[in-house]
Structures are given as structure tokens and as C-alpha cells.
């Protein structure tokens, strides 16, 4: 999908919607459709211009899935990681490397590979923190895009209202009631579209995506702690018990800007 093509199409949709209003079209359906294209097209246009195009597309593609159940935890990577910990603790580096290749999670897999390859503790810590910071920044950018769209939509709704009122005032005395009513209808329908888009669609999606983001960041912190335990060659049983203690009925809420996990405080017998 080409960014310039999308900008041109959305720009044309917004301009044509304004032109239809100024032309004095009185059809109810035409007024409703032009109001929709004016608000939605203008919102998307300003968002794409002000934000990264690929991220905007990614957010729009992910938006319908935020209310579906997502898989949390390590899944099948749990047993594979414990196997890597067992092999690495016993000094079976080749077997640990083969077990690492069986993991699906990229963060966990690359971190375990660094440990198996003999990466120093300092380098491992710097690399993992850098990747965590990238994940957190990516999540913030997605939420910023949604909040920006939620702010642009009512603005375009109000702009459409002002344009409709201006068209209505200029047509008083020169046009019939149908044209005046169409202008008034355009001014009202754009306000409705702007509020519905922002309050009933974009803001609930943003709230849900923020919850999903916190869950993903929490699990990234957990994986970070697991990799530190792996680098110290801690016993797989300790890793398993710490992970179980963390995931049983605990709410995962990492503090913003602090890389901290309850794994540090898990009591293992």
C-alpha cells in the first residue's frame, strides 16, 4: 500500500465531500454519505500525515482483534526453555542450542541463544533492556495513534458543523428550504459521526489495546527475568517454581519506565 496514493485518495474524498456541501445537494443519502467521508476521511488523512504510515496501517489491522481473547504466558516455549536451562546447567551447550531452536517466541529465543553462545552478563543485560525499550516504545506509538485519531474525529465533526452552518447562512433568502435543510443536516450529521467515531469506537479500542499492551509488556519483563536466571545457570526447578508462583492468580502490572518483575521476589524452596 503506497502512502502517497492513500493520502491523495483521502484528500480527494475530503475535498469532494466539502464540494458536495457547497454545491447545495439536498438528497438525504448524499448528505449522510458525504458527511461520513468528510469525518472519517479527514481523520485518517491527518493521522497518516502526522504519524508513521506503516504503524497507522498496522493499528487499523489490529483494531478488530483487540476484543478477542489473546494467548498469554509462554505456551509451548515453557517446556523448551526449561529444557534449555537443564542442558545449559549441565554444560551440554550443543544440546541447549538445539533446544533453543525449538522456541517460537523471538525475544526468548534470541536471548537464550545469546546465553548459550557465552554472551557476558553485562552485554546480555544491555541487549535485553534495549529490546524491552523498543517493545515499550512500539506499544506507546500504537496507543498514541489511536488517541490522535480519537482527537481528530470530533474536530472534523465540528469543522463539518461550522461549514454546514456557514452554507446555511449564505443560502438564506436565495435558496429553498430543501437546500437550507440539507446544509443544516450536514452540519448535524458530521457532529454525530465525529462523536460516534471517537467515543464509541476509537476510545474503547484504545482502552482495550492499552490493557493488552500492559499484558504483553508484563510478559516481556518476565522473559527478561527468566533469561537472567538462565545466564546464572540456576536450577530448572527453581525457574519452574518461580514462574508458577508468578502466574498463579497474579495481576501483571509493570511500573512504567521500570524494568521490574515479581520473579525477583519469588520465594522458592
The per-residue pLDDT for 71 is 63
Residue 68 lies in a domain: yes
Q: How many domains does the chain have?
A: 1
Residue 150 lies in domain: 3-77+118-265
Residue 86 lies in a domain: no
The per-residue pLDDT for 267 is 39
Residue 104 lies in a domain: no
User: d(Cα 9, Cα 44) in Å, to the nearest integer?
Assistant: 11
The per-residue pLDDT for 44 is 92
Residue 65 lies in a domain: yes
Residue 110 lies in a domain: no
Residue 101 lies in a domain: no
The per-residue pLDDT for 72 is 61
Residue 32 lies in a domain: yes
Residue 87 lies in a domain: no
Mean pLDDT by 10 residues, the chain (269 residues): 82 84 74 88 91 88 77 76 89 88 87 88 89 89 92 92 84 72 84 92 91 86 87 87 68 42 39
The per-residue pLDDT for 254 is 43
Amino acid at each position: 500500500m503506497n502512502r502517497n496514493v492513500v493520502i491523495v485518495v483521502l484528500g480527494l474524498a475530503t475535498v469532494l465531500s466539502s464540494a458536495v456541501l457547497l454545491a447545495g445537494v439536498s438528497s438525504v443519502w448524499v448528505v449522510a454519505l458525504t458527511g461520513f467521508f468528510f469525518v472519517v476521511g479527514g481523520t485518517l488523512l491527518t493521522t497518516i500525515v502526522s504519524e508513521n504510515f506503516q504503524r497507522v496501517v498496522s493499528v487499523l489491522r489490529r483494531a478488530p482483534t483487540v476484543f478477542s481473547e489473546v494467548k498469554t504466558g509462554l505456551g509451548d516455549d515453557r517446556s523448551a526453555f526449561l529444557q534449555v536451562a537443564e542442558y545449559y546447567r549441565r554444560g551440554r551447550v550443543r544440546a541447549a542450542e538445539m533446544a533453543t531452536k525449538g522456541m517460537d517466541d523471538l525475544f526468548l529465543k534470541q536471548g537464550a541463544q545469546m546465553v548459550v553462545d557465552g554472551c557476558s552478563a553485562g552485554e546480555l543485560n544491555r541487549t535485553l533492556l534495549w529490546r524491552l525499550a523498543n517493545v515499550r516504545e512500539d506499544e506507546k506509538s500504537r496507543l498514541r495513534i489511536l488517541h490522535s485519531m480519537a482527537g481528530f474525529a470530533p474536530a472534523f465533526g465540528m469543522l463539518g458543523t461550522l461549514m454546514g452552518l456557514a452554507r446555511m447562512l449564505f443560502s438564506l433568502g436565495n435558496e429553498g428550504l430543501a437546500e437550507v435543510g440539507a446544509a443544516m443536516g450536514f452540519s448535524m450529521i458530521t457532529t454525530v459521526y465525529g462523536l460516534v467515531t471517537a467515543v464509541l469506537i476509537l476510545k474503547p479500542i484504545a482502552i482495550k489495546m492499552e490493557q493488552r499492551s500492559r499484558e504483553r509488556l508484563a510478559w516481556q519483563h518476565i522473559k527478561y527475568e527468566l533469561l537472567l536466571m538462565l545466564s546464572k545457570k540456576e536450577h530448572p526447578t527453581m525457574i519452574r517454581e518461580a514462574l508458577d508462583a508468578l502466574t498463579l492468580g497474579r495481576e501483571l502490572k509493570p511500573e512504567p519506565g521500570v524494568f521490574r518483575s515479581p520473579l525477583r521476589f519469588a520465594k522458592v524452596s
